[in-house]
Amino acid sequence: MNVRLTKEQKIKVLNARDIYSIMQQVLLRENKIRRNQEHFWVVGLNNINKIMFVELISLGAVNRITAEPPDVFRMAIYKLANKLVMVHNHPSGALEVTDPDLIFTDHMLKAGQLLQIEVLDHLIITEEGYVSFKDLGLMDKLSESGLFEITSPERQELEEFKLETERKRAKKEGLKEVARNMKAKGYDDATIKELTGLSMKVIGGL
């Protein structure tokens, strides 16, 4: 689920605290029941570290991240993001890095290297604080761990996934150009939606 950000929240990120300042607000938007569940978000950045999007990848009651590379990198590929930061909350309030957190981060770090999308950091957050894997020196250690080296089958699978995502983005961009031309010719939005399959929100923003 794409998380709607205000214009002021689409900031240039300089450090982990900048990410936390945004993600704390996102977490606090949830009602109390939802805040007691574990959320996992991906924050996409462009080449100058400006926030492009925040996407909620998973939401559950179990203190464990369950996501695969396609879940984590899909929006980054689609939006042409160069970098990303992973964020998840610990409803317990404990800011401790667990072994599953490290294993998951290592896997995504190595997948990002193949997809040429840099995984800058992984933050664990609560309503009152955060811990940054990068600040702890863990991202450098994981990059040299020797684990999750991409094998030929996984490499092929990830490359095919990236190509398919890029094809979908290109197709949508082509449809948007068609919609722009139709608007210029005086077609109403409902007709454009019927002919292109684009949403009214996308058409309205053209």
- Do 100 and 128 belong together in one domain? yes
**Cα torsion through 86, 119, 75, 22, rounded to 10:** 40
Quote the percentage of the chain above a pLDDT of 90.
39
Residue environment code for 13-52, b if the CB has 16+ CB neighbours within 10 A, otherwise e? beebeebbebbbebbeeeeeeeeeebbbbbbbbeeebebb
Q: Which range (5-14, 67-76, 151-160, 193-202) has the least confidence?
A: 5-14
Q: Is the pLDDT of residue 125 over 70?
A: yes
Mean confidence (pLDDT) of the chain: 86
Single residue among 103, 118, 148 that ends a domain in this structure: 148
Q: How many domains does the chain have?
A: 2
Q: Which domain holds residue 190?
A: 154-205
β-strands 118-125, 51-60 pairing: unpaired
Q: Is the pLDDT of residue 137 over 60?
A: yes
- Per-residue confidence (pLDDT) for residue 9, from 0 to 100: 65
Q: Is the pLDDT of residue 121 over 60?
A: yes
Mean pLDDT of 50-63: 82
Classified as helix, coil or strand, 38 is strand
Tens-place pLDDT, residues 67-79: 888 899 999 998 8
6 compared with 124, residue with greater pLDDT: 124
- Do 111 and 172 belong together in one domain? no
Mean pLDDT of 150-163: 78
Cα 54 from chain centroid?
6
- Do 113 and 59 belong together in one domain? yes
